[in-house]
Amino acid sequence: MSAQQREAEVEPGTAASRIDTSVAHPRGLHPRVDTSVAHPRGLHPRVDTSVAHPARRYDYFLGGKDNFAADRESGDRIIAAFPTVRLWATENRAFLRRAVTHLTGEAGIRQFLDIGTGIPTSPNTHEIAQGIAPDARVVYVDNDPIVLTHARALLSSTADGATAYVDADLREPELILAAPELRQTIDLSRPVALMLVAVLHFLADSDDPSGVVDRLVGALAPGSYLVVSHVSFDFLPPKTVNQLSRVAQAEALCQRSKAELGSFFEGLDLVEPGIVPLAEWRAEHEPRPRPTAADVSCYATVARVP
Ligand SMILES: C[S@@+](CC[C@H](N)C(=O)[O-])C[C@H]1O[C@@H](n2cnc3c(N)ncnc32)[C@H](O)[C@@H]1O
């Protein structure tokens, strides 16, 4: 069978058929876009379904359909050690919504750089921001090819605003900042909200997460903001911490304490209420009762670049 015949067997609507060659790749043509071969089950060749990926596991926690057995098995190991992880995922999305709403509505931000975007989950950052300010501009960045295959859903901008997608790794901030699509979409001489929501805990200490944040924040204009949510075991009893630590190590998740998170915000002005349990960040209008800090086990913070 020829490559063309095999390619023709890819079902419309499958992941491979959704690969969008119009989205941005800092190095030009995306190295993972291989149009010469067919992909079993219509999947992109670099979408490895045999190992769990954070984006697909998160999709599983959120009740989505873009996950595979390895993601669900990994997710189930986390659920066994931390049964409220689905609550964490929905609360994390609610924090993202509240933070973008605050920054667009009250702080006047019109530009967003959302790194570690995840598989599109409505409302996405641009939908929230453009719902308030139709001229808002959003650049999405993720390093997972499954997110790339869904990028079109992230490019549904209003006519007055703009969105772009850059396939890149948070550990290469210079590459992200130099991406032509980023430069064409947002103006770094004006304030930007840098969204690092539920992504920094995928960077090991050896990846120098503080240095990565510094290099990104260093490129932002005064009046910009940094938005972070980050898993932490601070709120958990020792027995749970023991169990979870083993799972976290196996799943390459790096929890951090409040003191460790503080290093991400050095030199920035913390927006009230500071570094707090995620479910408590400006949650006055959320339904009651609120989840406990232990149920969610995650910090959230918004900080301003002076
Ligand atoms: C838990 S999801 C969070 C999605 C979204 N930010 C949210 O909070 O709802 C984490 C996302 O970060 C992405 N990610 C993990 N490590 C990354 C890296 N080094 N560079 C870019 N993206 C990364 C994953 O692919 C995944 O899509």
Tell whether the model's pLDDT for residue 23 goes beyond 80. Answer: no
Determine the average pLDDT of the residues in 51-56. 95
Mutate to test the pocket of ligand 1, among 195, 202, 215, 281 (most ligand atoms within 8 A of CB): 202
pLDDT of residue 217: 98
Q: Are 255 and 233 in contact (CB under 8 A)?
A: yes
Q: Averaged over 125-139, what is the pLDDT? A: 98
What angle, rounded to 10 degrees, do the helices at 69-81 and 85-105 form? 100
pLDDT at 12: 31
Instruction: Please give the pLDDT value at position 7.
Output: 31
- Counting residues of the chain whose pLDDT is more than 70, the rounded percentage is 85
Comparison of pLDDT for 47 and 171, the residue scoring more: 171
User: What is residue 109's predicted lDDT score, i.e. its pLDDT?
Assistant: 98
Residue 173 near ligand 1, beta carbon < 6 Å: no
What is the CA(116)–ligand 1 centre distance, in A?
3
**pLDDT band at residue 48 using 50, 70 and 90 as cut-offs:** confident
pLDDT bin (cut points 50, 70, 90) of residue 37 is very low
Average pLDDT of span 234-250: 94
For β-strands 298-304 and 276-277, DSSP reports them as antiparallel
CB 19 within 8 A of CB 148: yes
Residue 112 in any domain: the answer is yes
Q: Does residue 298 have a pLDDT over 80?
A: yes
Decide whether any atom of ligand 1 lies within 6 Å of the 171 Cβ: yes
- Structural domain contains residue 244: yes
Average pLDDT on 154-180 reads 97
Q: Assess whether the C-beta atom of 142 lies below 6 angstroms from ligand 1.
A: yes
Distances (CA, A) of 93 to 79, 138, 185, 278, 279: 18, 17, 24, 10, 10
In the predicted model, is pLDDT for residue 16 greater than 60?
Answer: no
Spatial neighbors of 263 by CB under 8 A, at least 6 apart, are: 210
Pocket test for ligand 1, best of 53, 92, 121, 199 (most atoms within 8 A of CB): 199
**Cβ of 169 below 6 Å from ligand 1:** yes
pLDDT of res. 45: 59
pLDDT band at 186 (very low <50, low <70, confident <90, very high): very high
In a domain, 47, yes or no: no
Report the mean per-residue pLDDT for the chain: 88
What is the predicted pLDDT for the residue at 30? 41
13 in a structural domain: no
Domain of 274: which CATH number?
3.40.50.150
Q: Is 262 domain-assigned?
A: yes
1 C-alpha to center of ligand 1: Å? 37
| Span 101-110, pLDDT tens digits | 999 999 999 9
Helix (H) or strand (E) holding 101: helix 85-105
In the chain, the number of structural domains is 1
Residue 4: per-residue pLDDT? 35
According to the model, what pLDDT value does residue 9 have? 31
Any ligand 1 atom below 6 A from CB of 59: no
Beta pairing partners, 229: 197, 300
Q: Which amino acid is at 289?
A: P
Give domain status of residue 53, yes or no. no
Task: Please give the distance, rounded to the nearest whole angstrom, from the Cα atom of residue 224 to the centre of ligand 1.
Answer: 21
Strands, E assignment, the chain: 111-115, 137-142, 162-167, 193-197, 225-231, 269-270, 276-277, 298-304
User: Taking residues 62-76, what's their average pLDDT?
Assistant: 96
Q: Is the dihedral of CA 22, 180, 138, 113 positive or negative?
A: positive
- Residue 232 resides in a domain: yes
Beta-carbon contacts of 223 under 8 Å, excluding residues fewer than 6 positions away, are 191, 304, 305
Residue 73 located in a structural domain:
no
Residue 150: domain span: 85-304
Structure tokens at 281: 């960040």
Q: Is the pLDDT of residue 254 over 70?
A: yes
Whole-structure pTM value: 0.88
